[in-house]
Structure 1
Amino acid sequence: MSDPERSAVDERRARRERRAREQLAHPARLIAVGFGLAVFTGTALLSLPFATESGERASFVDALFTGTSGVCVTGLAIVDTGAEWSTFGEVVIMLLMQVGGLGIMTMATVVALILSRRLGLRARLLVQAETRALRLQDVRLVLRGIVLYSLCVEAVVTAILTVRFATHYDMSWGRAAYDGLFHAISAFNSGGLSLYSDSMSRFVRDPIVSLTVSLAVLLGSLGYLVLFELRRNWRRPREWSVFTQLTLGVTAALVVLGTALLTIAEWNNPRTFGPLDVPDKLIAGFFAAVMPRSGGLNSVDTGAMNDESLLVQTALMFIGGGSASTAGGIKVTTFGLLAFVIWAEMRGEAKVVVGRRAIPEANQRQALSVALLGIGLVMTGTLVLLGLSDYPLDRVLFEATSAFGTVGLSTGITPELDRAAQLVLVALMFVGRIGPLTLASALALRERDRRYELPEERTIVG
């Protein structure tokens, strides 16, 4: 190879490396573009004539809304999934939920690992350094672990549901396997979509189906990083990272508190828990407390719940599940960290301590930013929806929070909204899916030390 040719090759290689560095410097941009392309692909496939049962092309808004709901693993729907879409359309939705769940988990996990390595991966990934950085081989191992973990959980859930459907609900084994696979993917990936018009209400008295689906949602909402750490150190809780402690502790607290509050609030409601036996009421309460963690499926009519229950579920939907998981919301780690910040302030402590670790101030500011962004988005979405519809505030707030938290629970008003309002929900689903992660990663990546200090001045607070 001549010198000019070698020089041209080196120049092209340098350009490629420069582009790679620029992309790695902005993971938020990659996440947004990736999910945008997935939504576009899903919308295009669902717009095909043979994607519907009638054989007629679905409207653009129906295809866009369903595609966004699938990719963003939200679960809101403006058409009956089982009745509107053909087998091809249902398979597309199933694949969109799988891609969306795996995509957000892998992207969020890799971003978390980048940040945990003091952002060293961005520059060192290209040269595969051996010290204090994640190597390409490590990334492949992590991604392989995520895929295997997801597929294994989905396989087990599919097997349990298939046997249950075939032996207790008069389904053929083929139909039972198909329904089991769809709902296993929907549950683990927090998809929230169901092939049944009543979601999972027909199984409210079936503890096997209810508990299996609930546990699948919980496993998906914890995330791979937590399960990976538990696998290594499950006998030594004191050695768990702050991330794992917050995820497990806040999750357990919210599930227990949510189960108690929802069960009490709906105990005598004749349209929800009232007709159920005591064991079924407890399981239904547990199911209703787990699903706001982005699960989105329901075993009773959400629209028939009391106002107290809707308020509890709205709060749970806003908090969401674990970071680097399939769940949405501001995340339980954000909520838990802010709770420790408040506790430290009330006690007059200078440092925020979780377990045996002090939390950096930058981390506290990031949590506050994510929470306030979430509040702003939900309030803005609610305000716009109120202007575009005649529904009361509590129902509109519930739908807006469900869209932002990528949950999928609905009081039943989403299909009745006009097209403009449904497009607002599409925007909330997309921003809610990528917003907290991209904001958190962008804030962390922009973190830098100031080379000088300004004089302090206190202001009045409260």
Structure 2
Amino acid sequence: MFRKFYRTIAASPPRILVLGFAAIIFLGAGLLMLPFSHANGEAPRFIDALFTATSATCVTGLVVVDTGTYWTMAGQIIILSMIQIGGLGFMTMATLFAIFLKRRISLKERLVLQEAFNQTSIEGIIRLVRKVVIYALTIELVGAVLFSIRFMFDMPVGEAIYKGIFHAVSFFNNAGFDIMGDYRSLVDYVGDPLVNIVTMLLIILGGLGFVVLADLVDIRNPKRKLSLHSKVVLSMTGFLIVAGAVVILLFEFSNGRTMGPLNFGEKLLAAFMQSVSPRTAGVNTVDLAGLRQATQFVIVILMFIGASPGSTGGGIKTTTFTALVGAVIAMVRGKEDVVLFKYRLAQERVYKALTVTLFAFGLVILATMILSTTEDHHFLMILFEVTSAFGTVGLTMGLTTQLTLAGKIIIILMMFIGRLGPLTLTYALGPKQGRLMYRNAEGKIIIG
């Protein structure tokens, strides 16, 4: 019976991903329950440990207890380990160990890696894993050094180095966890150019996707050109960052609770940080609850779009959003094909983009409706929290610490689904469909 069960779950790469992430989450929750993990001597409730482990493994950043004060250094290191494994993917880490041990990577493992990185084939997947690890560790190391140097002006050297490493890993993996204490995030550094710029670069590099990073590194070769995927990701990422910053700056320029007291340079930094962070990072330098409702809704939209495929971030992804925009433009212009950078997208890609978006939209709406009945809070506050969980962002207007037991369970599920992707979870849970050998007759309905 157990052998049959194993064959069933091992037959599907999506199922392996789902079970793998679930195993890491429950293992992490168990470790956080141990006495050496929590600082106040009283074990946390299991739901709080599970919430924290899910948020760390799914690189979200929503917390029900303050990371910097509630957990000991051992607990924080456990959280940081889950962030690293969750950001790079447990299969990436397992493959890395296999490479060190000089063990052959099986076809099944390559298929799981293909699913994890959203690749269309297994060709070159092991080379990609090596690049992922090298790029991630290099970028995190540079970020840790820069953070540590800056923090040394505010705290002892040892503490500065520790916080530098923690925040570099957390921000590159778009996790949003911080250990500044009292849920402050980076509010104390709202006008600090170094901290803001390094944080934004870590978030952006982590959210571009490792395929794009590899493309950018290889572009030094004159024979290599950027792929269509990289062009779409870079152009849409740049557009969303700039457009988001401009809108946020306009809405919050005179808001006394957020950017009003800042000088113009600090307002620019704050606007760009609040535009970059919703792309699944969860870092804030102003009080999100003090933002105007229009700004909060803009951030909800940015969180829903999220980062890019194959990255450490969540959301429906920039490429999905681009495909939908391209489809709308093609329809308005009376064109049959969606064309991006002179390349035509296959209809299958447009259908998948539409499916992902509708699935995500339905999940966010359903979870928001449920939380609206379990939590006694403003609707926009609840929508903000749910979208943040689904997009694995980690930003909150203050609802996370006030969630009921039912609310915590819903947010845990949303973080888990958001990290894996709704389609991956659907493929994992649904029965395997055989290929149809026929097509139905064409019918017509009136649209619009």
Q: Which amino acid aligns with 2:187?
A: S
Q: Which amino acid aligns with 1:318?
A: F
Q: CA deviation at 1:461?
A: 1.1
Between the aligned partners of 1:410 and 1:288, the Cα distance in structure 2 is: 12
Cα deviation digits, residues 276-328 of structure 1 (max 9, x gap)? 11001001100000000111011111111110110000000000000000010
8 Å contact 1:48–1:58 — kept in the other structure? no
Between the aligned partners of 1:282 and 1:105, the Cα distance in structure 2 is: 39
Between the aligned partners of 1:284 and 1:114, the Cα distance in structure 2 is: 33
- The farther-off stretch of 311-320 and 446-455 is 446-455
Aligned position for 2:131: 145
Between the aligned partners of 1:291 and 1:301, the Cα distance in structure 2 is: 13
**Pair 1:281–1:356, CA change in 2 (3 A):** same
- The farther-off stretch of 186-195 and 96-105 is 96-105
Cα deviation digits, residues 128-166 of structure 1 (max 9, x gap)? xxxxxx2xxx43322111111100000000000000000
- The farther-off stretch of 427-436 and 233-242 is 233-242
Between the aligned partners of 1:337 and 1:215, the Cα distance in structure 2 is: 25
Aligned position for 2:115: 111
Q: Which amino acid aligns with 1:45?
A: L
Identity %: 38
8 Å contact 1:69–1:429 — kept in the other structure? yes
Between the aligned partners of 1:362 and 1:31, the Cα distance in structure 2 is: 24
Aligned position for 1:173: 157
Cα deviation digits, residues 153-189 of structure 1 (max 9, x gap)? 00000000000000x21x1111000000110011000
Pairing of 1:195-210 with structure 2 (within 5 A): 195-196=179-180, 197=182, 198-210=184-196
What secondary structure does 1:358 align onto? Answer: strand
Aligned position for 1:418: 404
8 Å contact 1:108–1:324 — kept in the other structure? no
8 Å contact 1:49–1:58 — kept in the other structure? no
Q: Which amino acid aligns with 2:161?
A: A
Q: Which amino acid aligns with 1:29?
A: R
Aligned match for 1:191, one of 171, 175, 183: 175
Q: Which amino acid aligns with 1:116?
A: T
Name stretches of at least 5 consecutive residues in structure 1 with no aligned partner. 1-14, 122-133
Cα deviation digits, residues 91-125 of structure 1 (max 9, x gap)? 111111111101079499632778523xxx4xxxx
Cα deviation digits, residues 241-268 of structure 1 (max 9, x gap)? 2211221111111000000011111111
Q: Which amino acid aligns with 1:111?
A: E
Between the aligned partners of 2:296 and 2:252, the Cα distance in structure 1 is: 11
Report how many aligned residue pairs link the two structures: 425
Q: CA deviation at 1:436?
A: 3.7
What secondary structure does 2:178 align onto? Answer: coil
Between the aligned partners of 2:333 and 2:422, the Cα distance in structure 1 is: 29
Aligned position for 1:182: 166
Aligned position for 2:262: 276
Q: CA deviation at 1:451?
A: 4.4
What secondary structure does 2:36 align onto? Answer: helix
Between the aligned partners of 2:327 and 2:213, the Cα distance in structure 1 is: 26
8 Å contact 2:58–2:415 — kept in the other structure? yes
Aligned position for 1:381: 367
- 1:219 and 2:205 matched: yes
Between the aligned partners of 1:460 and 1:381, the Cα distance in structure 2 is: 31
What secondary structure does 2:421 align onto? Answer: helix
Aligned position for 2:33: 47
Q: Which amino acid aligns with 1:182?
A: F
**Pair 1:428–1:274, CA change in 2 (3 A):** same
What secondary structure does 1:353 align onto? Answer: strand
8 Å contact 1:317–1:405 — kept in the other structure? yes
8 Å contact 2:117–2:310 — kept in the other structure? no
User: TM-score, length-normalised on structure 2?
Assistant: 0.89
Aligned position for 1:362: 348
**Pair 1:230–1:369, CA change in 2 (3 A):** same
Aligned position for 1:258: 244
Between the aligned partners of 2:117 and 2:80, the Cα distance in structure 1 is: 28
Aligned position for 1:400: 386
Q: Greater Rg, structure 1 or structure 2?
A: 1
Aligned position for 1:325: 311
Q: CA deviation at 1:401?
A: 0.3
What secondary structure does 1:32 align onto? Answer: helix
Aligned position for 1:81: 67
**Pair 1:449–1:235, CA change in 2 (3 A):** farther
**Pair 1:69–1:259, CA change in 2 (3 A):** same
Q: Which amino acid aligns with 2:115?
A: V
User: TM-score, length-normalised on structure 1?
Assistant: 0.86
Aligned position for 1:6: none
Between the aligned partners of 2:79 and 2:34, the Cα distance in structure 1 is: 13
Cα deviation digits, residues 407-426 of structure 1 (max 9, x gap)? 00000111012122111111
Name stretches of at least 5 consecutive residues in structure 2 with no aligned partner. 93-110
Q: Which amino acid aligns with 2:317?
A: K
8 Å contact 2:170–2:177 — kept in the other structure? yes
- 1:455 and 2:441 matched: yes
Between the aligned partners of 1:346 and 1:248, the Cα distance in structure 2 is: 25
Q: CA deviation at 1:431?
A: 1.1
Q: CA deviation at 1:73?
A: 0.5
